Structure 1
Amino acid sequence: MAVLADSDTRWKWGALTARRLTSGDDRAATPPARISGLLLRGRATPTARQLAEVGDVGISTDRVREVTAVEFLHTVREEGYDVVVLALVGGAVQAMLHGLAALRLPARPVVVTGYVGVVYEKLTDGLLLRHGADIVLANSRHDAERFRAVYEGVGADASAVTEAALPFLGGAPYRPEPGRDTLVFAAQPSVPESRADRTYLLRRLAEHARLHPGREVLLKLRSKPGEHTTHIEEHPYQRLAERLPGGLPPNLRLVYGHMGEVLDRTDLLVTVSSTAALEALHRRIPTAVLTDLGVREPLGNHHFTGSGLLTSFDGLDSGDRPRPDPAWLAGQGVAADGSYATAYDTARARVTALLDRGRLPGPAPYYTPATAPGYLPGILARHHLAPDGHPLPGATAVRETGRVRGAVREAVRGAARGAYRHGVQRVAPVVRRMGEL
């Protein structure tokens, strides 16, 4: 089995999904099947620190390597995986599906894909870009119903949609500890996006901490300045905190690390729309979703309408503790009722059935050069693939022979990757901000 991911959060989702598909237990000391880790090279390719911070996903980081799309397809041909988990943005999933179809392997792998969290934007676009995978995982009954409705609405086969759950739910149920009072704000890289909105949230968080000096307030951050996650972070909270009038109160701290470990000491989880809310709800940790910036589709908090979790900083300041609606929870895949242990049974059974079929036909995505001639070629070209899924001229993966040539090639690639990431992650945001002046 192989996992191909393009960011730290998708790596976490993909690796843990692979473990659940092979063993049913992401906490197992060793997975029962060998899982190869591959990172798709791009602007959000995780750093070694980000990989380590994701926590134990059952794949040693020294066995994880970066590849281009063409190198990935070459690896699939050479290593003959039985299952491939595509933990990628929609366009990259579509490119890999067409690339796999073009390989015409005598025995192709079962292809699994899905979403890393709450699907609050580009539902139709993202789903159609994932169509053609053998299994499209839905994180809840609510998502499974939406996914099938989209596929059936355009006349596409919806049989690949398979209900499961987020693979990284877990941890002990919430138990308050005497003397502990910890509020955690789960930040997101791109929600909200503007400097003004992010400064507002930081200011209100600081004011809340000053209003409750006995409460520990933690701002949980996903990445450090210069690192990218699934989304680009134009205005890191670390930089905004340095400019906050009056600075941060002593009981407000910025923290990093594995979200599960932070939740171990959380008494109230606050967010705009982070998937961390679902992790907290799974553990029955009190959770609040902010309405201060409105309840709007671009923020993703519209997903929580009907949840009973919506409130504002004014409410939190006065002691509000929202209570989740049981009916809403039942459809969201948080599995707080103890059903999580069986959440992947259907997906595992489908993988086994597909493997037992022997030779599988090539992937058949909804988008083809006939159905989307003005859209598909551009998606494939971004990954150096032609409209028929074959590598473009000059993009073929060629393995160097000899240790010296291989070492030189990797050194040059490493320098090029470093320069590329510095340009995308550091220089480009500055240029964009200057253009707004």
Structure 2
Amino acid sequence: MPSVCVVLDNSPTPLRTAVIADSDTRWKWGVLAARRMAPAASADGFLLRGRATPTPRQLAETGVGVEVAGEVTGPEFTERAREYDVVVLACVGRGVQALLHGLARLERRPVVVTGYVGVVYEKLPDGLLLRHGADVVLANSRHDAERFREVYAGIGADAASVVEAGLPFLGGKPYEPDATRPYTVVFAVQPSVPDSRPERAYLLRRAVGHARAHPEREVLVKLRSRPGEHTTHVEEAPYQRLAEKLPGGLPANCRLVYGHMGELLDRTDLLVTVSSTAALESLHRSIPTAVLTDLGIREPLGNHYFLGSGCYASWDQLDAGELPEPDPAWVARHGAADPAYTAVRARIAALTATERPPLTPWLTPRTAPGFLPPLLARYGFAPDGSALRADAVKESAARRAARTVVRRAARGAYRSGVQRVAPLIRRMGAL
């Protein structure tokens, strides 16, 4: 494995950093967070083996330009973590908790950083407790930092790890209208919001209807993944499949697109979404941004996060030419202002300069005996954080290759079941 040095600001010696991620969006967040912490350097990147392991196409589309150093299990990564000074855990909360218990067994451990990929609108206590124990829990806004500390204080847990930073992928040129190209509306879709086929079909019809009502505009439906690929969630009703069933198909000025969100925002005049983090990227650039209310303002949709933002609008209002006016104070407080990693760099420098205390997650076999052991086992760890025997056995090259083939086939079967079989069974059950 190549050696990659990372020099943190004001640090007299090079520090080695690794990022481990379990999906394409977390890969992007983790790598860019590492770069914010060390602007002049890169890091080794690992993928945590699981059902959401991204494809090469998905990784390329993140635009972060980091090669994968390996696809590993949790115990395999904790063994490799001995080589690093700083590790960024860019995983779902349960994965973070499992890795924290594995890393806690190391005699010489790295500084551990984790956080959230984007808008935090659900399962706040659950997610925060799963991340407790890391040296640094990144908060994407002042609003989030205050909420995080309040949750930790409520259970008597140390909140010193919470550091306000900001979304690491915010950036790009500020918005300026461009009369030399068509006015471009981008509908940023999400894999599981909304999750029902009728609601997703409705949103697509409205986007297509907007294109037909405004033939002078270009309407782009920004997709996260291709059918069968997995992001954080598997899409049961991919927009690609829904588009195939539209009467008359898509009009000439409406297209389904993939690609890097930052590059797409370079030519966006109006960003439309239900609750995607893309809204914060758009607001950061001062691009007109609409958070849809067509399906209501509901916690399962996540659009309640934008209360007070001034961004709410329906497709009817957008069709009529109305544009929301964002509230500057809300934008600054909720993470769409410039991200600042100065405090993060200072905390990491302080931690790497001294002998680090043991990792002490709040969740332990004593505080959560009915919850934690099964969670750890799912990621290959015993209740004490050691590797389960199945993960500790070294495999031959042939057996590893065979396991890789079987694993890929299992992922394909799982995704097919979620997207095709499960919806069919539900429809039959409703007859």
Q: Please give the TM-score of this superposition, normalised by the length of structure 2.
A: 0.93
Secondary structure of 1:394 counterpart: helix
Residues in 2 aligned to 1:236 and 1:286: alpha-carbon distance in whole angstroms: 26
TM-superposed CA distance for 1:127, in Å, is: 0.3
Paired amino acid for 2:115: G
Alignment partner of 1:35 is 2:43: yes
Q: Is the 8 A contact 1:70 1:397 kept in 2?
A: no
Name the % identity. Answer: 64
Partner residue of 1:394? 390
Instruction: Find the partner of 1:95 among 95, 98, 102.
Output: 98
Partner residue of 1:202? 204
Alignment partner of 1:10 is 2:7: no
Partner residue of 1:272? 274
Residues in 2 aligned to 1:277 and 1:356: alpha-carbon distance in whole angstroms: 38
Secondary structure of 2:392 counterpart: coil
Alignment partner of 1:260 is 2:257: no
Q: Is the 8 A contact 1:216 1:251 kept in 2?
A: yes
Paired amino acid for 2:49: R
TM-superposed CA distance for 1:427, in Å, is: 2.8
Counterparts of 1:189-228 in structure 2, within 5 Å, are 189-228=191-230
Partner residue of 1:232? 234
Paired amino acid for 2:21: A
Residues in 2 aligned to 1:70 and 1:174: alpha-carbon distance in whole angstroms: 45
Residues in 2 aligned to 1:429 and 1:380: alpha-carbon distance in whole angstroms: 28
Q: Is the 8 A contact 2:32 2:64 kept in 1?
A: no
Instruction: Find the partner of 1:327 among 306, 329, 333.
Output: 329
Residues in 2 aligned to 1:394 and 1:41: alpha-carbon distance in whole angstroms: 15
Counterparts of 1:33-432 in structure 2, within 5 Å, are 35-57=43-65, 59=66, 61=67, 63-77=68-82, 80-102=83-105, 104-105=106-107, 107-179=108-180, 180-335=182-337, 339-340=338-339, 343-357=340-354, 359-396=355-392, 398=394, 405-406=396-397, 408-432=398-422
Q: Deviations over 1:108-143 (max 9, x none)?
A: 100000000000110110000000000000000000
Q: Is the 8 A contact 1:185 1:270 kept in 2?
A: yes
TM-superposed CA distance for 1:397, in Å, is: 5.0
Partner residue of 1:28? none
Secondary structure of 2:30 counterpart: helix
TM-superposed CA distance for 1:409, in Å, is: 3.5
Secondary structure of 1:96 counterpart: helix
Residues in 1 aligned to 2:179 and 2:21: alpha-carbon distance in whole angstroms: 41
Residues in 2 aligned to 1:222 and 1:201: alpha-carbon distance in whole angstroms: 16
TM-superposed CA distance for 1:101, in Å, is: 1.1
TM-superposed CA distance for 1:349, in Å, is: 0.7
- Shift in alpha-carbon separation, 1:210–1:71, aligned structure 2, 3 A: same
TM-superposed CA distance for 1:423, in Å, is: 1.3
The size of the alignment, in residue pairs, is 410
Q: Can you give the 5+ residue segments of structure 1 that lack an aligned partner in the other structure?
A: 24-30
Residues in 2 aligned to 1:158 and 1:230: alpha-carbon distance in whole angstroms: 27
Residues in 2 aligned to 1:272 and 1:64: alpha-carbon distance in whole angstroms: 35
Secondary structure of 1:245 counterpart: coil
Paired amino acid for 1:48: P
Q: Is the 8 A contact 1:209 1:252 kept in 2?
A: yes
Q: Is the 8 A contact 2:234 2:419 kept in 1?
A: no
Secondary structure of 1:224 counterpart: coil
Residues in 1 aligned to 2:225 and 2:211: alpha-carbon distance in whole angstroms: 23
Paired amino acid for 1:21: M
Secondary structure of 1:350 counterpart: helix
Q: Please give the TM-score of this superposition, normalised by the length of structure 1.
A: 0.92
Paired amino acid for 1:89: V
Paired amino acid for 2:213: L
Q: Is the 8 A contact 1:74 1:397 kept in 2?
A: no
Q: Is the 8 A contact 1:272 1:289 kept in 2?
A: yes
Secondary structure of 1:169 counterpart: coil
